[in-house]
Amino acid sequence: MTGFCVLGCGTMGKALLTGIFDSIKEQDEQASKNISVPDKFYACVKFVQEAIEIEKLFAGDVGISVTDEENVQKAAASDVLLLSCKPQGAEDVLGAPGMKEALKGKLILSILAGKTIDSLKNLLDDSTRIIRIMPNTASRIRESMSVLCPAPNATEADVEFAEWAFNGIGRTMKLPEKLIDASTAMCGSGPAFVATMIEAMTDGGVMMGIPFAQAQELAAQTMVGTGQMVLQGQHPAKIRNDVSTPAGCTISGLLALEDGKIRSTIARGIEQATKTASGLGNN
Ligand SMILES: NC(=O)C1=CN([C@@H]2O[C@H](COP(=O)(O)OP(=O)(O)OC[C@H]3O[C@@H](n4cnc5c(N)ncnc54)[C@H](OP(=O)(O)O)[C@@H]3O)[C@@H](O)[C@H]2O)C=CC1
Ligand SMILES: O=C(O)[C@@H]1CCC=N1
């Protein structure tokens, strides 16, 4: 029996649980061959209102707690904990009386932006293993891009478990911890940036007479298709060249985008979000 407890079950906790439940339902036997697939789930929140929402979402599948005391009990009954409170809340959640004890020998998957492995270790017993992970809200529909950074004390089995859990809700990539703030900007914040681009393309379509709903679908599916071509190995420059007929409409549109500094604006957005992410763990 493996217990999985979400410490801080808000936007991300719910998205991840939704994806993990769907993934378990599909039961890819090959992917879960060497994994202790969780069969007991717990969610810890602060307010009753949130608990009611979780109850509505997952019916009886998740044991819910709203007090420090119950949180500690749920943590003690679990083998793996997903730490998904706000970065500033880590001290409160992990510092609850009895929590450090309850987490001894357990695996913590922390998705807290800006909260380093060292700063988490200061709040935990040496026997608690940590993997930092940066997923995104597309976990809910099992299309997350999640970056994994195992702490030195994480075992191979821990990494296999994390890869199983997060591959089930999208793609994973292992990177060193020094790159997790940039990954936070790209993957964690990324849906907001891409959604802004979808909105901007939609605005353009609406301006040119396409009704909003249709314009939005055209923009979103074009993003999905282009992303898939890149993931299947096509270089973005080739995609761009293939589309750009000499003296055609694509190159004229591209030049207008370049006049607006689209590339450096987007790249600087990632740079800025990376800098902000690196400070989020400092309270
Ligand atoms: N939002 C995103 O797109 C992404 C966020 N992240 C990271 O995920 C983490 C969570 O973000 P997000 O889901 O947006 O935040 P939310 O505020 O939606 O969720 C935080 C949750 O923590 C709970 N909580 C707060 N204090 C306690 C406590 N003392 N005991 C138990 N539960 C507690 C809250 O409960 P209640 O609701 O009752 O207050 C809430 O459910 C952050 O650290 C963020 O950096 C990572 C990738 C993407
Ligand atoms: O904006 C934030 O702080 C969080 C972290 C990554 C995505 N959202």
Do the beta carbons of residue 175 and residue 150 sit within 8 Å?
no
Q: From 46, 103, 172, 194, give the residue whose CB has the most ligand 1 atoms within 8 Å, as the site to mutate.
A: 46
Task: Kindly state if the Cβ of 139 falls inside 6 Å of ligand 1.
Answer: no
Which pLDDT does position 32 carry in this prediction?
Answer: 72
81 alpha carbon, closest ligand: 1
Give the whole-angstrom CA distance, residue 144 versus residue 121: 26
pLDDT band for position 30 (cuts 50, 70, 90): low
| DSSP letter assigned to residue 282 | G
Compute, in angstroms, the gap from residue 188 CA to the centroid of ligand 2: 6
46 alpha carbon, closest ligand: 1
Q: What is the ipTM of this complex?
A: 0.98
Which pLDDT does position 135 carry in this prediction?
Answer: 98
pLDDT in tens, 243-279: 999 999 999 999 999 999 999 999 999 999 999 999 9
Question: Angle 212-231/236-243 helices, nearest 10 degrees?
Answer: 130
Task: Kindly state if the Cβ of 85 falls inside 6 Å of ligand 1.
Answer: yes
Contacts of 263 (CB under 8 A, 6+ apart): none
- What percent of the chain shows pLDDT beyond 90? 93
Task: Kindly state if the Cβ of 113 falls inside 6 Å of ligand 2.
Answer: yes
Nearest to 93 by CA among 123, 64, 121, 131: 123
Compute, in angstroms, the gap from residue 205 CA to the centroid of ligand 1: 36
Give the whole-angstrom CA distance, residue 71 versus residue 215: 46
Query: For residue 220, how far is the Cα from the chain centroid?
Result: 20
11 alpha carbon, closest ligand: 1
Compute, in angstroms, the gap from residue 273 CA to the centroid of ligand 2: 9
